Copies of this chain bind each other. A is one copy, B any other.
Amino acid sequence: MPEEPKTERGRRTRERILAAAAGLIERQGVEATSLDQVLTEAQASKSQLYHYFADKQALVRAVIAWQTATVVDGTAEQLAGVDSWAGLDAWFDALVAHQRSLDCHVGCPIGSLAAELADTDEPARQDLARAFDSWAAQLRAVLDRLRDRGLIRPEADTATLAQFTLATIQGGLLLAKTTRDPQRLRAALTAAGGYLRSLASPP
């Protein structure tokens, strides 16, 4: 019954609710965020929310889709021209700088959602698994480019390396967020970069 605004006004309302929900959930988590909080921040009413979303779970899934698009597309943009170690380092630096600017709150929206929902909301878990997969695919594309340029040896398994890199990023973000110390992320990323570089020449 709900979903899909038919007018411009409706579209903006839906967007306002979604943005407010995304922000609050990013900061507090799903369970800790109430619909009333979302509605207050979005300047909307109950009936507006339920006009566009079947229930809270549907809203959460929409938030997942929004965050996935934001993070993955944002990463794609930043990684688009990267074809050197310096370029990869610059991206790592940007990640660390971003966390520092947020005082290490939040971490990664996808990672936080995954940690909270993986065991309690199966459809959400699948969405998030796909999000991680497309993110890893982006990283793999970069590694492939580095390999094609001769910076990584040809027989290296870039898909697996991408999984490793993503894992290290996620773990580094979690440690940084927990200790409020961006150096934890820094350490993790520097080492990950070091490993990738160590794959330059054949054994």
Contact = CB atoms under 8 A, between A and B. Distances in A.
Contact of A184 (B111, B116, B163, B192): B163
Contacts of A174: 111, 114-115, 167, 170-171, 174
A31 B31 CA distance: 6
Copies of this chain assembled into the complex: 2
Interface string A149-180: 00000000000110110111111101101111
A29 B31 contact: yes
Contacts of A167: 168, 171-172, 174-175, 184-185, 187-188
A133 B184 CA distance: 11
Interface string A76-91: 0000000000000000
Interface residues of A, number: 48
Interface string A4-47: 00000000000000000000000111011000000000000000
Nearest to A159: B187
Dominant SS at the A interface? helix
A29 B163 contact: no
A161 B191 contact: yes
A32 B127 CA distance: 20
Interface stretch (A52-60, A93-101, A117-125): A117-125
B171 A125 contact: no
Given A32-B31, A112-B115, A174-B171, A133 B179 contact: yes
Top 6 nearest A-B pairs (CB, nearest first) are A171-B171, A31-B31, A167-B171, A115-B115, A164-B191, A195-B195
Interface of A: 27-29, 31-32, 105-107, 111-112, 114-116, 118-120, 125, 128-129, 132-133, 160-161, 163-164, 166-172, 174-175, 177-180, 184-185, 187-188, 190-192, 194-195, 198
